[in-house]
């Protein structure tokens, strides 16, 4: 092989590489990462308890972290296995068990305030991420069961430990029956 051929080969390869590289560079500059749609779809699968067990301040921040690859999909105990499977399907990954470091799944629960012990300190009101506790200073408080997500975030601020978690009421059982008679 003579020197000319080598030089030509190198030149052609270099020219191709430069031409395509320039095109790719131009393309890369044009492509903005379109992550917001993905975040929306991930967020839609999370249970929205806003409990922070994943160590992110709420479900949406966790969704952002998953979308960017900063967190894995195994951090959501309230969603349990169902959520992990849904996330795995959305992201086309293999499902994996929950990471116990972030807590274990529990059955659905809602907060309940023992109104005889509540002193009306109002400290639980801002702690509730979904404003499901009604009350005013020096008046006893009540949890709106339908809106409570069971996140347990109201427990630590309560000075008299009058909040407890109870099993969530079952969904309406009504189903259509045939009148086959």
Partner 1 sequence: MAARSTFPAGLVLDAHKQQACESPIIELPLPTQVVLALDQGAGYSAEPVVAVGDAVAAGALVARADHPFASAVHAPLAGIIVAMETREAAVQGGRSLCIVIDGSGADRIDDSVRPVTDPASLSPEELVQRMRDAGIAGLGGAGFPTPTKLASARELGAHTLVLNGAECEPWICCDDALMRSAADDVVLGALILRRAAGTVRCVIAIEDDKPAAIAAVTKAIERLRDDALTLAVIPAVYPKGAERQLITAVAGVEVPAGGLPADAGVVCQNVATAAAVARWATRGEPMLSRIVTVTGSGVAHPGNVRAAIGTPLAALIAACGGYRGAPLRLIAGGSMTGRALPSDEVGLTKSMNCVLVTTRDDIGSRLGAVELPCIRCGDCASVCPAGLLPQQLLRAALADAHDALRRLGVRDCIDCGLCDYVCPSQIPLADRFRHARRRLLEAEAMANKAAAARERHELHKRRLQQAATAEQRAFDSVRNRARQPGDGSAGDGN
Partner 2 sequence: MTELLLLALGASLVNNFVLSNFLGLCPFIGVSRRFEAAAGMALATLFVLTLVSGLSFALWQWVLVPLGLEYLRTLAFILLIAGVVQFTEIMVRATSPLLHQLLGIFLPLITTNCAVLGVALLNVNRQHGLLESLVFGASAGAGFGLALLLFTALRERLDTADVPQAFRGAPVALVTAGLMALAFMGFAGLGAR
- Decide which of partner 1, partner 2, none touches 104; Cβ closer than 5 to 8 Å per partner kind: none
Distance, CA of 3 to CA of 45 (rounded, Å):
62
Distance, CA of 9 to CA of 15 (rounded, Å):
10
Distance, CA of 37 to CA of 35 (rounded, Å):
6
- Decide which of partner 1, partner 2, none touches 177; Cβ closer than 5 to 8 Å per partner kind: partner 1
Residue from the set 39, 42, 54, 59 that interacts with partner 1 by CB under 8 A: 59
Crossing angle of the two packed helices 36-45 and 80-91, in degrees rounded to 10: 150
For partner 2, the binding residues in 22-81 under the rule CB under 8 A are 23-24, 27, 30-31, 34, 37
Distance, CA of 146 to CA of 141 (rounded, Å):
15
Distance, CA of 58 to CA of 130 (rounded, Å):
11
Query: Is residue 7 within the footprint of partner 2 (CB under 8 A)?
Result: no
Write down the least CB distance from residue 177 to partner 1, Å: 5
Query: Is residue 6 within the footprint of partner 2 (CB under 8 A)?
Result: no
Q: Which residues contact 125 (CB under 8 A, 6 or more apart)?
A: 131, 133, 135, 141
- Decide which of partner 1, partner 2, none touches 123; Cβ closer than 5 to 8 Å per partner kind: none
For partner 1, the binding residues in 161-180 under the rule CB under 8 A are 171-180
Query: Is residue 3 within the footprint of partner 2 (CB under 8 A)?
Result: no
Where on the chain is the footprint of partner 2 (CB under 8 A)? 5, 8-9, 12-13, 16-17, 19-20, 23-24, 27, 30-31, 34, 37, 89, 92, 94
């Amino acid at each position: 092989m003579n020197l000319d051929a080598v030089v030509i080969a190198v030149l052609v390869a270099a020219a191709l590489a430069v031409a395509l590289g320039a095109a790719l560079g131009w393309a890369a500059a044009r492509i903005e990462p379109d992550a917001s749609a993905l975040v929306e779809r991930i967020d839609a699968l999370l249970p929205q308890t806003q409990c922070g067990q994943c160590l992110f301040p709420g479900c949406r921040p966790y969704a952002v972290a998953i979308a960017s690859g900063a967190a894995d999909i195994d951090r959501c105990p309230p969603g349990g296995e169902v959520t992990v499977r849904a996330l795995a399907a959305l992201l086309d990954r293999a499902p994996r068990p929950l990471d116990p470091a972030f807590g274990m799944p529990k059955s659905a629960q809602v907060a309940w305030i023992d109104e005889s012990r509540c002193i009306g300190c109002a400290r639980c009101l801002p702690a509730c991420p979904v404003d499901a506790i009604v009350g005013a200073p020096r008046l006893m408080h009540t949890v709106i069961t339908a809106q409570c997500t069971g996140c347990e975030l109201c427990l630590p601020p309560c000075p008299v430990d009058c909040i407890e978690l109870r099993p969530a009421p079952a969904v309406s059982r009504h189903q259509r029956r045939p009148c086959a008679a």
